[in-house]
Structure 1
Amino acid sequence: MHHAHEHGATITPSSRPYLGDIGTEIAARLPGAWSAQLEIYSHPLWQEDLSPALWEAGDLYRALVDHRVPFASVLKYDTGTELLLIERPGHRSGYLLGALTEHEKEDPHDDPSTPPSIVLPADPQLAAHAVSHTFLPAYRHAVHNRDLNTVLRSLERIREEHQTLQAIKDSGRCSDGVPLGDSRLIAGMERDFADHAWLSFVHVLDHATLLLTRCRPAASAWREDAAALTRLREALASSQDAWKEWNDTRRELYSIPRTLPAHEWSQARGQLGLAVLPAIETWLADSEAFERQARAAVPGGPASLPAPSPRLLTTRPTPPPSPRAAAAHR
């Protein structure tokens, strides 16, 4: 204030609490182990780099697109959930809060599970209540639906290829009409299917276990689904050795300075796909029961906040002190 007066500058203090303080105060009042970190975006490109990480297509998204946002507070849950808190542009009070994600995603405007941002008051107690009772329940539902949709899309891709393969085997002809006179052709097609099926089934292995824990067939209108859910759990359990082998293989290969040739990757995936083929077929057969039970499931409680999935191919760098690198949330 003294230097401003010396240079003839006028400073108008804001009635809005400092973002670094309000973020810390809100985090301290949320259920569970939350923390807050102030981030400074000295260059507009750093602000723009938030867009790929923002899981939101409403007020917070438009604020980042249409306004200069020089700093933000990131609220972090101890399992990896991150929320972005900024001052509400164009208003003398209030804040905007939305979700960040490390998951690859398409345009958030096309994602039906996107959790909407929320306007928070300047009072940290009221703000924390709004986050814990309004935003986080919506966020948990959004994560649940996102993971469910990921599993269902993966199963649909497998189903399409499985039906194509079965139609070729039943007809005795390739898709171009050429007769299958050599059994090696069929074996090759089955290996190709197993390769592609594994790439999709890994998403089932990654997300379905947690989704199944939320299913309560006895409390639903489809109690008879209990047997199908038991079969699905057993199928996942029988695939754990292949899942572990896949993760161990990727971790080992990416820790050494060489690249595995594409055909060797395909061979490795094909072998794993053939190993879990009975589990894949079980999931294809009982996918309808899984979907209706998972749609009816209600995730709840702080414990259901998601832990980040293992990222074996890329690792998120540790954020440096502010000002930070532009790709912090990539």
Structure 2
Amino acid sequence: MPTPSAVITLCTSRTLGLVVTTYGEEFRKAGDVLRDAGLRRLPNGAFVAPLADTQTARATASALVHHAHEHGVTLATSSRPYLGDIGTEIAARLPGTWSAELQIYSHPEWQQDLWTGLWSAGEIHQALEDHLIPFASVLTSDAGTELLLVERPGHHNGYLIGALADDTDHTQHAHDDPTRPRSIVLPDDPALAAQAVVRTFLPAVQRALHNRNLETVLAALTRIRREHQALQDIKGSGPAHGSGSRLIEGMERDFADHAWLSFRHVLEYAPPLLARCRPSATSWPEDSAALTRLRDALTTSQDAWTKWNDLRDELQSIAQTLPAHEWSRVRTELGIAVLPAMQTWLTDTQPFERQARAAEPGNPGTPSGPSPRRLSPRPAPSAPHQGPATHH
């Protein structure tokens, strides 16, 4: 059965009264109907009308029916309460500071943006693929965690909650992420729903974030290691004087450029992982020295990391960008500055990985044997040669 081009859906709210949302390719026509009927538009795109006065409510309902028929707009009613209220009530019961915002996807194509930003797997992923989701509540914590709450399609009650990707890098690969948390079904009652989020979903999200950040750091180090080894192989295969020397210097600058693009992920995602590590509580207390070296390496890289972020923020604030060759120069300069820190991280990758895996949130105890995933031996590479810094 084809979807009507313009739909008006009515539900009720304890605080707002009648709440109406629009949907369809001609949703603006539905909005005209609501304005003609005297409803007030909220900033989020929903329309409201009070229900406290019976006579006024009847007049509003009559006007809605009349104008909808006149404009060829379909009227639908929902037995569910206003999702904006449900999201707010759940958010108020979560630990820390949370807010809830109802987002309306009036045009069918707008839902694609929602699906693209979804991190969670499971039923909510399938729901966004197979069903029309005209609105959702986004719950946001003061720490930046974002959860997506939707009515469970194909059911008369219940909700689905999932996690949204928290930055552009991860949004681009969210659906391929093996660490992503699975959505869960929530009951109608906001108190019970919040309880399920606290006891089941948030711990799963924390574990997933930990593992995703760890895999991001390890993947970055693997790329740096591979590129560094390729550079070392080339340096060892030919003379390092004359034109050969200039070629090597150019390749070292290229390595610094590319290595910075990977090492920035270490600078961003490794600190919270290190903060969770407790070597003395594991079977490898001797890793404490390695973790200290890794923390010190991050500290010495802080100036480069700050410079990178300040430059990006400055360019974003003036809606400009640098030419490609200028970006390359900046990355090369920063990459050369953090080469010693990269060396430390390449050398101590193995103790970092096993300690970070042991520190996974919800880990029932200290591992007494090998880490959960077998660690392949990683020989410490020779120190990257610090080539000449590039000039402005």
Q: For residue 100 of structure 1, report the CA deviation from its aligned partner.
A: 1.1
Deviation string, structure 1 residues 288-317 (Cα, Å, up to 9, x no partner): 1111111111337xxxxxxxxxxxxxxxxx
The one-letter code of the counterpart of 1:64 is L
Aligned residue for 1:79? 143
Match 2:224 to one of 147, 158, 182? 158
Match of 2:252 in 1: 190
The residue that corresponds to 2:287 in the other structure is 225
Q: Percent identity?
A: 65
Report the counterpart of residue 201 of structure 1 in structure 2. Answer: 263
Give me the whole-angstrom Cα distance separating, in 2, the residues matched to 1:52 and 1:6. 36
Please name the residue that 1:26 is paired with: 90
- Could you tell me how far apart the structure 2 residues matched to 1:54 and 1:219 are? 35
Q: CA shift at 1:286, angstroms?
A: 0.4
- Please say if residues 88 and 95 of structure 1, whose CA atoms lie closer than 8 Å, have aligned partners that are also in contact: yes
Which one has the largest radius of gyration? 2
The CA distance in 1 between the partners of 2:65 and 2:246, in whole Å, is: 87
How do 1:1-330 and structure 2 match up within 5 A? Answer: 2=58, 3=61, 14=79, 16-103=80-167, 104-105=169-170, 106=172, 108-172=174-238, 182-256=244-318, 259-299=321-361
Cα distance between partner residues in 2 of 1:87 and 1:51: 15
Change (3 A) 1:33 1:280: same
Offset at residue 259 of structure 1 (A): 4.2
Task: Please tell me whether the aligned partners of residues 172 and 180 of structure 1 are also in contact (alpha carbons under 8 angstroms).
Answer: no
What is the DSSP-based 3-state SS (H/G/I as helix, E as strand, rest coil) of the residue aligned with 2:236? Answer: helix
- Evaluate the alpha carbon distance shift between residue 50 and residue 11 of structure 1 in structure 2; reply closer, same or farther with a 3 A threshold: closer
Contact 2:165–2:174 (Cα < 8 Å) also in 1: no
In the superposition, relative to structure 1, how do residues 180 and 285 fare at CA in structure 2: closer, same or farther (>3 Å)?
A: farther
SS in 2 for 1:55: coil
Q: RMSD in angstroms over aligned alpha carbons? A: 2.5
Q: Residues 143 and 13 (structure 1 numbering): CA distance in 2 closer, same or farther, change over 3 Å?
A: closer
Aligned length: 295
Letter in structure 1 aligned against 2:213: D
Alignment-derived partner of residue 47 in structure 2: none
The residue type equivalent to 2:342 in the other structure is: I
Give the Cα separation in 2 of the matches to 1:51 and 1:216: 37
Distance 2:122 2:191 in 1: 24
Q: Which moved more, 1:153-162 or 1:104-113?
A: 104-113
Q: TM-score, normalised by structure 2?
A: 0.70
Contact 1:165 1:190 in 2 (8 A): yes
Q: Which amino acid aligns with 1:221?
A: S
Residues 266 and 109 of structure 1: CA distance in aligned 2, closer, same or farther (over 3 Å): closer
CA 1:283 to 1:76, structure 2 compared with 1: closer, same or farther past 3 Å? same
Change (3 A) 1:209 1:88: same
Distance of 1:42 and 1:96 partners within structure 2: 20
TM-score by length of 1: 0.82
Distance of 1:166 and 1:13 partners within structure 2: 66
Deviations 1:16-45 (A, max 9, x none): 433122111111111111111112222111
C-alpha contact 1:180 1:186 (8 A) present in aligned 2: no
Residues 188 and 70 (structure 1), Cα distance of their counterparts in 2 relative to 1, 3 Å cut: same
Structure 1 residue 10: deviation in Å? 10
Aligned equivalents of 1:37, 1:272: Cα separation in 2: 39
- Distance in 2 of aligned mates of 1:114 and 1:98: 10
Structure 2 unaligned regions, length at least 5: 1-56, 363-392
- Offset of 1:13 from its aligned partner? 6.0
Query: Do the aligned partners of residues 202 and 165 (structure 1) sit closer, same or farther apart at CA in structure 2, a change above 3 Å counting?
Result: same
Q: Find the aligned partners of 1:218 and 1:251 in 2 and give their Cα distance.
A: 40
Aligned mates of 2:136, 2:114 — CA distance in 1: 10
